[in-house]
Chain A
Amino acid sequence: MTKILAVDDSASMRQMVVFTLESAGYDVVEAVDGQQALDIAKNESFDLVLSDINMPVMNGIELVKQLRQLEAYKYTPILMLTTETSSDRKMAGKGAGATGWVVKPFNPDKLLATIKKVIS
């Protein structure tokens, strides 16, 4: 089963993302910040990482940087969940090694459509 790591410090966003993904049949593990996500990622493997950018403890950009340094996550698609509309912020995520982004606000359908782009 396709396994996804969903990272967001906002409980409501996390619930929404997790519910959406699980309803679509994905196996989802959640994390509340970058550090927790990184710890989880080191012990389990994922087919996709979805991460918010602005988070306490460790932000999404730093998480991507750290993940890309792990052998197991060299090619794993990583999507940033972002409300940033300005391109330099999106690029910061890209620069760190993210695959792409999903711009908030998004609805469940849009999220799933975007995810399907990167995991076949």
Chain B
Amino acid sequence: MSTSRTDTTTITVEPDMPAVRLQRDFDAPPALVFRAWADPGLVVRWLGPRDLEMEVERWDCRTGGAYRYVHRRGDDEFWFHGSFHEAREGERIVQTFTWEGAPDSVALETRPSPTSATAARGWRASRSRRRTPTATR
């Protein structure tokens, strides 16, 4: 069960699209990766910067579901929300992502990304984040 898998995250920036692809392999069956993503009690253990406390207000990882959570550092609060556009167990999660400090911007996150192959041993859980251009005022 021990594999060396530290420091293997890659980031790809597509030249012709405001998209960033994070790619990372996990040594676990797709169903478990999905669970770690879908269960808010597990999500708070790994999501977000380590130096921030995360609290989930809502995390309904189903197609048509939604989420909202906060990262806290002292008195500072950073709220995020979005909807789960598609959630197929062990297969695919598509969600939107908005930082409430910039509510006009929304990112579309897809994992795994449509172009990534499912690795034989685990889930190549890559995440594409696509940002809509923010309207200028």
Partners in one complex: no
